Amino acid sequence: MSSSAPRQKVAVVTGASSGIGYAITRQLAKHNYQVYACARRLEPIETLVDEFSTTLIKPYKLDVSSMEDIIKFKNFLSETLREGKLDVLYNNAGQSCTFPALDVTDAMVEQCFKVNVFGHINMCRELAQFLINAKGTIVFTGSTAGVISFPFGSIYSASKAAIHQYARGLHLELKPFGVRVINAVTGGVSTNIADTRPLPQDSIYNFEEGQEAFKARQLMAKNNRPMSADVYAEKLMNDILSSRDPLDVYRGTMSSILSWVSLIVPYCVLEWGLVKKFKLEKVFAVLKKKDVKKD
3-state secondary structure the chain: CCCCCCCCCEEEEECCCCHHHHHHHHHHHHCCCEEEEEECCCHHHHHHHHHHCCCCEEEEECCCCCHHHHHHHHHHHHHHCHHHCCCEEEECCCCCCCCCCCCCCHHHHHHHHHHHHHHHHHHHHHHHHHHHHHCCEEEEECCHHHCCCCCCCHHHHHHHHHHHHHHHHHHHHCHHHCCEEEEEEECEEECCCCCCCCCCCCCCCCCHHHHHHHHHHHCCCCCCCCEEHHHHHHHHHHHHHCCCCCCEEEECECHHHHHHHHHHCCHHHHHHHHHHHCCCHHHHHHHHHHHHHHC
- Exactly one of 36, 156, 166, 250 is catalytic; name it: 156
Q: Are strands 34-39 and 10-14 parallel, antiparallel or unpaired?
A: parallel
Q: Are 199 and 214 in contact (CB under 8 A)?
A: yes
What residues are paired with 89 via a beta bridge? 12, 138
- Respond yes or no: is residue 156 known to be catalytic: yes
Catalytic residue among 65, 149, 154, 160: 160
Residue 250 is among the residues annotated as catalytic for this protein: no
Query: Annotated active-site positions, please?
Result: 17, 156, 160
